[in-house]
Amino acid sequence: MDIKLEKKTGWRAIVQKKNIPYAVAVLFVVFIIVTMLHPKHSTLRVDAQMLSISEVKRCEFNDYVRLTGSVQPITTVQLSPLETGIVERIVAEEGTMVKRGDVIIELSNNNLSMQILQSEADLAEKQNILRNTLISMEQQRLTLRQEQLQLELDVQRKRRAFEQNDELYRSDLLARETWLQSKEDYELSLRRRELVLERQRQDSLYRTNQVVQMEEDLNSMARNMQLIRQRVDNLNVKAPIDGEVGMLDVVLGQSIGSGSSIGQVNDLSAFKVTAQIDEHYIDRIVRGLTATFERQDHSYQMMLSKVYPEVRDGQFRADFIFTGDIPDNIRSGQTYYMNLQLGQSSNVLVIPRATFYQTTGGAWVYVLDESGERAEVRKIRIGRQNPQYYEVVEGLQEGDRIITSDYKNFGSNEVLILKK
């Protein structure tokens, strides 16, 4: 009996066991092609009425930044006591105008007072010793002088006797023994005189050195006492410059250590304005830039004088000084709103400053299509910025419409469908 084999066609032929690997490969290639031709984008439907939409335009871009500045004295000097003490009296209160050297705070220190009393007692004792030594030296000098005169008289007598005996001896009128005795007496008186004179010189040198040493000790003690008196004077905290007493952080009876900061004196001969600037501008902020502000219908000119290097919380500090008129009744702590000019005006593409920047940092925006019903993410590059606009360097064209409201509710969706 013959068995007839049926030939399989279509899907039945494909799914044969031996054809399965080929079928899988074909399906995978088809999937890749479809994915490349029709990429999937995450989509979110949003209410168009809740969005802010702006148009990219070309206009005159004024290159400046708006700053909030605080008036500060041109110079502020800290008050620090040179000695440790207890606050006895506050002579000048906050806001008092003082001259350099005026006492602001009086301190007391019992240890220094005791040191002065002890130093005065030691100095008086040393002075008495020196005085007694000088008196003793004078008495001894008189005694030595009297002894010297007596020796001189003795030498003269012995010399005369020897000279007389020498003449008699030469005339053979005097025995040799008597002549030798007078000669020896005379020579002995000479040596005795030399010894006494040498002793006087040595004693005088010793006494002189003793007095010099005592005088040096006295001078040293006097200088030490003067230093202690200076330390007592340092208990008066004095104004280091002419100016106004600023904040004082002391109360009566408070114990204050030397070198601690207890207040300040402000130099009001001139003022500066200190402002915090966004770190976005850090590469463009240099000394010499000009700034202006309006006050009571008058424009005031300022110049950037100092840029501080440290960035804190996304901002850095800068100081401005007046280059012309200064406002009347200017006071420390006043707030001025300044326009800092960064460069020349130019005609460029701009988009308005808005909350979208907080999410994107200016790296991308949602751009609407012609129908206005769909918005897609587009990468852009932002250049300069001022209080009104961001300069568009690339990624957008004049007439493009973008969403400028906050993006925080859009998540990572690349396409927005706008519901009317």
Tens digits of per-residue pLDDT, 304-324? 999 998 999 999 999 999 998
Domain boundaries, the chain: 43-63+346-419, 64-107+236-343, 111-233
More confident of the two residues 16 and 368: 368
* Angle made by CA atoms 307, 275, 300, in degrees to the nearest 5: 100
Minimum mean pLDDT range among 45-59, 217-231, 341-355? 217-231
CB neighbours of residue 335 within 10 Å: 9
CATH architecture of 64-107+236-343: Beta Barrel (2.40)
Residue 234 phi, psi (nearest 5): -70, -10
Give CA–CA dist 2/353, Å, rounded.
Answer: 89
Structure confidence at residue 34 (pLDDT): 47
Backbone angles phi, psi at 175, to 5 degrees: -70, 150
DSSP bridge pairs for 90: 105
- Comparing CA positions, the residue from 129, 140, 144, 138 lying closest to residue 213 is 129
Distance separating alpha carbons of residues 40 and 42, to the nearest angstrom: 7
Quote the pLDDT of residue 334: 92
Structure tokens at 178: 């008597």
pLDDT value for 23: 60
d(CA 110, CA 128): 28
Answer for the pair 382, 280: CB distance below 8 angstroms, yes or no. Answer: no
> pLDDT: is 174 or 243 the higher one?
243
* pLDDT value for 24: 62
Structure tokens given for 257? 């250590």
Per-residue model confidence as pLDDT tens digits over 361-379: 899 999 999 998 999 999 9
Whether the per-residue pLDDT at 139 is higher than 90: the answer is no
Instruction: Name the band, by pLDDT with cuts 50, 70 and 90, for residue 113.
Output: confident
C-alpha of 303 from chain center: 23
pLDDT confidence bin for 239, thresholds 50/70/90: very high
CATH class of 43-63+346-419: mainly beta
> Residues, the chain, total?
420
Return d(Cα 297, Cα 12) in angstroms, integer: 92
* pLDDT at position 391: 93
